[in-house]
Chain A
Amino acid sequence: MKKIYSVTVLFVSAFTFIISSCATPASIVAKSGAQLWGENCQRCHILPSPESFDSHDWSIVGTHMKIKAGLTETEEEKIVTFLKSSK
C-alpha cells in the first residue's frame, strides 16, 4: 500500500511540473472574461447574472466554481473580474 501512495505522490508531482511548463497559445491568452464566462458556466447551468452577487461575493463564488468545474486559475480570475466589472 505504501508503494501505491509513493507512486501516486510522485505521479502528481511530475504531472504538476509538466503542466506548469506548458506554454499557452496566444488565442487562449487573448480570451476575455466574458468569453470564458460564456464558454464555461453554460457547460453545467444557465449563465448567471452579474447582479446575482456583489463584487466581493463573486470572488468567493468564483473559488467555489473553480473547484467544482475544474477551471484553471486564469479562467477563474478573468471570469470573476468580468462579473465584478459588469454590475
Chain B
Amino acid sequence: MLGIVLSSSCIIAQEAVTEKNNDKSEGAEHSKFVLAGFAYTGFTQMDNQTSNFGPTGFNPIFLWKKSDKLFFEAEMSVEMSDGVANYDLEYATIHYKLCNYLDISAGKFLSPFGIFNDRIHPSWINKFADKPLGFNDMNSMIGPMSEIGVEFGGGAQIGKSKINYVCYVSNGPTLSTDSMMGGMLMYSNTNDNNDNKAIGGRIGFLPFQNSSLEIGMSGQVAKVGDKTSDLYRNIGTQLMACDLSYFHKLDFIKSNLDIKAQMNMVNVDKAVKYPLNMPGMDSTFDNKSKAFFIQLAVRPAYIENHFIKNLEFAVRYSMMKLPEAAMWGGDYDKITVGVNYWLTWHSVLKFDYQVNNRKGQDSKSGFLIQWGIGF
C-alpha cells in the first residue's frame, strides 16, 4: 500500500518536472507568477494504536512579483488526517519594499516567533516526520503559528556580522475561558476579541561572516481577554522565544552538521478564576507554559559513495510543560531518532523511531515514515 502511494506521488512529481521543462521551452520566463510548495505522505505505527497511513498533505505556495517593490505570497494547506480533509490558509501576505533594509508586509503571515514555524516546518525541510512538542497540535501550541496584521522586516550587514529583524502589530491570541480549556491561549486569530493589538518581533544575529551561526530572540505582548468580560478583559500575556541555528562542514567525517534549537515560554496573567467544575481542583493557577526542542542532523554529503552521501542521521529531543493545575496541563517529552534518505535536494524519505513520555504514565514508542517533497 505504501508502495502504491509513494509510486503515485513519484509519477505526479515526474509530471510536474516535465511540465516545468515544457514551460521553459514555451517562454514562461515572462511570467511573474510561480507555483511552489510541498507535499507529504507517510505511515505511523505507535504502541497501543492502530497502524495508519498518513497524514497526507499538500501545501501549494503562490508567489507573484508585480514589480521590484511589490510582492505577494500565499500558502494553502490541505491535509487528510483522521479521516477528515482540513483546509487552511497558512499565510497570504503583500510585501512592499520601503528601502533596501526594510519591507512592510500586511495580511496573514507566519509568526516570526523563533525559527521553527517561520522557516523549517515544511515537510521537505523538517528533518523528522512530525513536529516537536508544543509546535504541532492546535490544542497544545505554545506560541503562535501565524498572525494577521502588519509587519516590518529586513536584513542588514553590520561589519562582518549580520542581523535580521521583524516587528509587527497583529490581532494576537485570545484567552479560552471554557470549562475544559480555561486559561489556554488560542492562536487562530481571524477575529480579535478586544481592541488591544499584540506587538511582537524577532531579531536574529549572525556573528560569523560565513553565516553559520544564528541566534534569535523573539517576543510578543498582548491583552488576550474578551473586552466584554469583567473577569478576563485585563488579562495580558507575555511570550518569549530563543532560537539557535548552526550549520557547519565537518571535514574529518566529510559531513555537514546541522543543529537547530528553540525554547518558547508563554506567561498568561493569573485570572481570578476559570469555570472549572471539577471537585478538588483549583479554579485558578499560575498560567505558565514552556516548550523546547533541540535537534542535530549529520549528512555525509562529501563521501563519494552515492548511497551513503544521500543519507542523513538525525536526533531530536523535545519537551512541553503545561500548567499542572489546568485541565489541559501536564509534562511531556519526546525523543526521536531518524534516518533520512535524500532522493533529490528537495525530496526526502524519513524513517523515525520515537519514544513519547508523559509524567505519571507509561512511555509509548513507535515508528513514523514520511516522504516529503518540495517543489
Asked whether A39 and B99 contact (CB < 8 A) given A64-B73, A66-B155, A70-B155, the answer is no
A81, CB-defined interface residue at 8 Å: no
B361, CB-defined interface residue at 8 Å: no
| Chain A 35-53: CB-based contact to B (< 8 A → 1; otherwise 0) | 0000110111111110011
Q: Is the interface of A mostly helix, strand, loop or mixed?
A: helix
| Chain B 108-125: CB-based contact to A (< 8 A → 1; otherwise 0) | 000000000011100011
Asked whether A74 and B157 contact (CB < 8 A) given A47-B345, A60-B34, the answer is yes
Q: Which of A40-87 touch B at CB < 8 Å?
A: 40, 42-49, 52-57, 59-61, 63-64, 66-75
CA gap between A24 and B101 in the complex, in Å: 14
Asked whether A42 and B24 contact (CB < 8 A) given A19-B101, A66-B155, A70-B153, the answer is no
Q: Which of B128-170 touch A at CB < 8 Å?
A: 152-160, 162-167, 169
CA gap between A70 and B205 in the complex, in Å: 11
| Chain B 300-328: CB-based contact to A (< 8 A → 1; otherwise 0) | 00000000000000000000000000000
Q: Count residues of A near B (Cβ-Cβ below 8 Å).
A: 45
| Chain B 209-235: CB-based contact to A (< 8 A → 1; otherwise 0) | 111101000000000000000000000
Q: Which of B29-48 touch A at CB < 8 Å?
A: 29-34, 36
| Chain A 1-15: CB-based contact to B (< 8 A → 1; otherwise 0) | 100110010001001
User: A residues near B, CB below 8 A?
Assistant: 1, 4-5, 8, 12, 15-16, 19-20, 22, 24-25, 27-28, 39-40, 42-49, 52-57, 59-61, 63-64, 66-75
User: B residues near A, CB below 8 A?
Assistant: 20, 23-24, 28-34, 36, 61, 63-65, 71, 73, 95, 99-103, 105, 118-120, 124-125, 152-160, 162-167, 169, 196-197, 199, 204, 209-212, 214, 245, 247, 256, 258, 342, 345-346, 374
